[in-house]
Amino acid sequence: MKNRIFIGLSILFFACQPQPETNENIKPQIVCTTGMLGDAVKNIVGEHYEVTSLMGPGVDPHLYKATQGDLKALSNADIIIYNGLHLEGKMGEVFEKLENRKQIIVAAEAIPEEQLINNTEFQGAFDPHLWFDVEIWAKVVLHLRNGIIDFNPELKKDINKNTQVYYELLQDLNTNVVSSIESLDSSKRILITAHDAFGYFGRTYSFKVKGLQGISTVSEYGLKDVSNLVNFITEKEINAVFVESSVSDRSLKAVIEGCKAKGHEVSIGGILYSDAMGEENTSEGTYLGMVKYNVNTIVNSLK
């Protein structure tokens, strides 16, 4: 309750602050929640906007709590872009309070419900990890473009041009992903991760995907979950599991130990970028580079 009061008062405080004087050299501000969204928007808008991502490398959006700096950035933003589908669960109230005063674009609204993966444990709770299907993410990019053009129609020509270039890169990326995965025998396409973030990846690229935790890292796992996963890995003779850059590796280490106790050796195949991209100014710090890295790591470790 105290946290809700703090968020409400903080938003009201920042909203009431005097706005800076208009300056032609000051670019309009777009604030995105995740790095994946921020990277997409930077490719769409080019130099016309200042783009800020609230959640950097290694940050788990499921558990993220807005800071005072975040609230100030959101209050000063011209456009706010977030994923939706409860990915930014603890920030939901913030967006609700701002939706009548800000141009807000929800990425998930680009995708019809029939194309979303439903969480079987909670009917109507959809998997928010849209970026792991490159073709779906390309649709998100077009949706973001449309929302940004609505806010600033005079930039339509440049934004359409930028988006077309990036959209073609996404199509090339998807072709390369498919080609790389085809080099891996279908019997070895079993992906074990810390939490169930790779559902869209599995559906689109023909992988059996299992996460120790559910689609959100907020969900708990217990000894039964560990035991079930150990039995599955042992029965399928899987040789590698994958940790995630934004999730503790403790849970999977327990699985590895459980497999060892049953006489089956399994190793960590690598670190995957799931809910956050890599460090800024690295290849993995971009969406294109992150996807390439993940696919190469998965394929090479499971061969």
**CATH 3.40.50.1980 intervals, the chain:** 2-17+27-176, 184-302
Across 34-49, average pLDDT: 98
Residue 51 has phi, psi (to 5 degrees) of: -115, 130
What are the pLDDT digits (tens) for 62-109? Answer: 889 999 999 999 999 999 999 999 999 889 889 989 988 999 999 999
Residues ≥6 apart with Cβ < 8 Å to 269: 240, 241, 242, 297, 298, 301, 302
Strands 103-106 and 208-213: unpaired
For 184-302, the fitting CATH number among 3.40.30.10, 3.40.50.261, 3.40.50.1980, 3.20.20.70 is 3.40.50.1980
Token pair in block for residue 132: 């792991």
CATH superfamily of domain region 2-17+27-176: Nitrogenase molybdenum iron protein domain (3.40.50.1980)
Q: How confident is the model at residue 249 (pLDDT cuts 50, 70, 90)?
A: confident
Token pair in block for residue 197: 């973030």
Task: Tell me if the pTM is above 0.95.
Answer: no
